[in-house]
Amino acid sequence: MKITHKYLVETIVFLSYVLFAMAWVGGTASMDQIMATMHINSLASASFISGAVTLAKIVGTFIAAWLAIKLGLKNAFLLSGVLIATGILTPLATNYEWLLLSRFLMGLGGAFMIVYFNPIVISFFSVKERATINGLNAVAFNIGTGIILWQMDSFNQLTGSWKSTLILFSLLTIVLCLLWLFVKIPNKNVSSTDNNAHHYSYIEGLKDKFNWQYALTYSGILAFYICLFTFYPKAGISQSALVIAFGIAGTLAGIIYSKKVTSRLPVIRWSGLIITLTVIGLSFSTDPLLQSVCAVVLGFFIFFPITALVSIPHELANMTGEKITVIFSLFYSISYLVATMVLWLFGKLVDINQGDFSAAFMLISLLSTSFFIGSFFLPEPAQCNTYQNKE
């Protein structure tokens, strides 16, 4: 039996990342119980876990393209699923080292998987279909996160404990890995429709200014998003759950919009402007109602243009499975590297100012302009007439 139906393949891909989010955020939500079970009370140890995970994201996304070239796309995606399934070690870990290893491997699997969305989409879907599929893949993590934020207690009651819940998520991931073994990736569309296409290496990717412009456009928003969940609650701003909820709504609206409107840059540009204004409102306002309104609008407009953003490389001329894998490998690794540096600097500014968040909030507000500014440097596929309408 071979699985070749494109929507069935997409269902496996989508659910795989939703489950990754559920296992990942579920492990984070259970970290207090996990650390207590191991009698670990050190904040440094907890911070080291976060650091190892960040390293996994940076390294994983960077080497993902190389791994896909070496193993083939099908086997590379399978490996990402298997690594995510190693999250089963998190509730079973008997010492800190095993816990650290499980979180690192799981983060590595998630980093690989987010890169492999794109060559899989190219392999199975026409250019006109890709905006919708890209949007669905973009919302997968938020859906998984939302499920955990609102239903983790229900899962624990159903399974009997947080350990059983996390084990269940890993077992379901293993089931999806087994289904993936039956997937057959077609040869068509994996290579370019242009017979003169050549190998696109990491070196070429790093020399290509588009990849830097593309990653830096996203990096400011990613940095803010990580800071939002890491530092904002400590600053007394607790509206992060609203950002998640309305982020899902924004992504779904973005899918519909991007399907109807082929121009990509206007929605990125004006959403970027709204993002910066609402980041300022959320960060500096002392009115809880205004902060909540800003969180709602912010959540919607952070994710509303994501479908358009991730669709740009898919719609450029002569795109190949290999090239798009390298592009997104660099896109995520550069973005996470910048975001990690910003996260450290944010915390440093708070420390220097004896717990005052004002300077750090000014920094993150400034960096949130990357979406707006970056939109003036990105190519517009619709204007360049680069759609591959023959598909």
Name beta bridge partners: 3. 183
Per-residue pLDDT at 389 exceeds 60: no
CB 314 within 8 A of CB 324: yes
Structure tokens at 4: 């070749």
List domains and CATH numbers for the chain.
Answer: 6-180 (1.20.1250.20), 203-377 (1.20.1250.20)
Query: With bands split at pLDDT 50, 70 and 90, how would you rate the model's confidence at 229?
Result: confident
Lowest mean pLDDT among 216-220, 291-295, 339-343: 339-343
Query: With bands split at pLDDT 50, 70 and 90, how would you rate the model's confidence at 157?
Result: very high
CB 283 within 8 A of CB 361: yes
177-213 confidence digits (pLDDT tens): 999 999 999 864 443 444 445 688 899 999 999 999 9
pLDDT of residue 207: 94
Please identify which residue in the block is written with the tokens 């790093």.
206
255-279 confidence digits (pLDDT tens): 999 989 989 999 999 999 999 999 9
Its pTM stands at 0.87
DSSP character at residue 191? S
DSSP character at residue 375? T
Q: List helix spans (H) across the chain.
A: 6-29, 31-37, 43-71, 73-85, 89-92, 96-124, 127-159, 162-180, 202-207, 209-230, 240-260, 265-284, 288-303, 306-311, 321-352, 358-367, 370-374, 381-384
Q: Kindly write down the DSSP assignment for every residue of 14-62, as one continuous string.
A: HHHHHHHHHHHHHHHHTHHHHHHHTT---HHHHHHHHHHHHHHHHHHHH
56-102 confidence digits (pLDDT tens): 889 999 999 999 989 999 999 999 999 999 999 988 888 888 888 89
